[in-house]
Amino acid sequence: MSKVTNLNQFRKQKARADKKAQAETNTVKFGRTKAQKTLDKTRADKARRDLDGKERE
């Protein structure tokens, strides 16, 4: 005889695994430290200023 499987437990287990995978993806996509955010903003501002300084009139 085969072992009885509780489908509710299986469903919940799968939902937890999916949620954890989504959390990992979001961490990679959005998870940055304040220092990294500040550095990116500073670089973008400098690039914008450099480009504005080279505009032709």
Q: Name the residue range of residue 49's domain.
A: 7-53
Q: What's the number of domains the chain is made of?
A: 1
Name the DSSP class of 8.
H
- Determine the Cα–Cα distance for residues 43 and 45; give it in Å rounded to an integer: 5
- Determine the Cα–Cα distance for residues 44 and 57; give it in Å rounded to an integer: 23
Which residue, among 41, 44, 22, 19, has the nearest Cα to 32 in the 3D structure?
A: 41
User: Looking at the domain assignment, is residue 2 inside a domain?
Assistant: no
CA torsion through residues 28, 32, 36, 38, sign: positive
pTM: 0.49
Per-residue model confidence as pLDDT tens digits over 6-49: 899 999 999 999 999 999 999 888 888 889 999 999 999 999 99
User: Looking at the domain assignment, is residue 1 inside a domain?
Assistant: no
